[in-house]
Structure 1
């Protein structure tokens, strides 16, 4: 068992070290996105509204418990349903859930957070991408969203500014939440690893910010 775990982590390190979209360069006149991490899980934050996309039509702030805040960004990620809904903290994670995900995988959910002026930090790293890349990113972020219906389920989040939505796909040890982030970046033409199963696999490709860039914001 220990050997299998070690091989998995080694494969993750190798896969994430192989670059995709190696010719990517930031566009100083482009759209600023944020790649965020909590150390275990990653997400991609984009402007709530822009000439290319009004995310309020897909993920309306009115779905949150506090729709009155002046939200400026929406952070989108994908993950395993039971882990998302039943583990508000990692101490809540059931060993049975872990074994099931390892053995057969699990159903997916979108986790969507509404943010107010997120400040750059070591865990919230901005990237400027071209508008063409941003349009590709929009399509990639929406690729696992089921057909929108009036009865689409909305599940309460961990706080007043986040919720969960049904998503297509199956979470597995290969297709992890962080690999979903990596695949989203790859589809948009943004440089990242060829396989990104861990949070560090994603963040290793996003340049850290300089101290002077750090600002003040809220989420």
Structure 2
């Protein structure tokens, strides 16, 4: 019994130390800034929207570079409404997205699979008529070249058919009337979360970002500065 208690104590202590190391690393690296590129042309507005746990990137539906409605089809939403100016993209764990509409629905098995690379991922899209700037919804201006890089990053995050169309998850229950889910590339984990994806997206198009962050407050911190 004494040996059992001893090893149990060591195990618990090790887990606590690992958790503290993870949280400490997240805090430090999310407060270190990847500086934005010098931008001589402000041509495409996007928005960085954070919540307590998640980050979305909001893009114009149509520009001269990309019409998202041609691949993220209105017909995949509940109403099929086409009167929108913006589209929000978020990447995350498929189990969280599809099986956890509220925190009260969260299962230990879903959280475990998400944390340790055992689940697949999905992209959540949501069409919006307008965007309201706030502390948690910050406007960022990109050049056309920077926006093209962001388009490429998002497209590479989506699984596609042989014809290049994103694969809608037809079995997914939408959150509202104007959103849909799509099969995604990559694995969610403690080290690559929805916020890590958004942070990497910002890096891809030369915008201010954290060195690394698993949490939304890291991105929010960078855009409060």
Class of the TM-score when normalised by the shorter of the 2 chains: 0.7 to 0.9
| Match status 1:152 vs 2:167 | yes
SS of corresponding position for 2:190 = coil
Which shows bigger deviation, 113-122 or 65-74?
65-74
From 80, 105, 108, the counterpart of 2:121: 108
Is residue 27–residue 129 contact of structure 1 (8 Å, CA) maintained in 2? no
Do the aligned partners of residues 175 and 49 (structure 1) sit closer, same or farther apart at CA in structure 2, a change above 3 Å counting?
same
Judging by fraction of residues, say which structure has more helix.
2
Deviant stretches of 4+, over 6 Å: none
Do the aligned partners of residues 166 and 144 (structure 1) sit closer, same or farther apart at CA in structure 2, a change above 3 Å counting?
same
- The aligned residue for residue 9 of structure 1 is 23
The gaps in structure 2 that reach 5 residues or longer are 1-14
- The aligned residue for residue 71 of structure 1 is 84
- 1:151 deviates by 9.3
SS of corresponding position for 1:163 = strand
The number of residue pairs the alignment matches comes to 207
Give the Cα–Cα distance (whole angstroms) in 1 for the partners of residues 81 and 178 of structure 2.
10
Give the Cα–Cα distance (whole angstroms) in 2 for the partners of residues 70 and 134 of structure 1.
23
Give the Cα–Cα distance (whole angstroms) in 2 for the partners of residues 29 and 159 of structure 1.
32
- The aligned residue for residue 192 of structure 1 is 209
Is residue 75–residue 115 contact of structure 1 (8 Å, CA) maintained in 2? yes
Judging by fraction of residues, say which structure has more strand.
1
Is residue 48–residue 54 contact of structure 1 (8 Å, CA) maintained in 2? yes
TM-score where L is the length of structure 2: 0.85
Larger radius of gyration: 2
TM-score where L is the length of structure 1: 0.87
Give the Cα–Cα distance (whole angstroms) in 2 for the partners of residues 151 and 143 of structure 1.
10
The gaps in structure 1 that reach 5 residues or longer are 209-219
- 1:30 deviates by 2.2
- The aligned residue for residue 170 of structure 1 is 187
Aligned residues: CA RMSD:
2.0
Give the Cα–Cα distance (whole angstroms) in 2 for the partners of residues 151 and 58 of structure 1.
6
- The aligned residue for residue 65 of structure 2 is 52
- The aligned residue for residue 99 of structure 2 is 86
| Match status 1:134 vs 2:151 | no
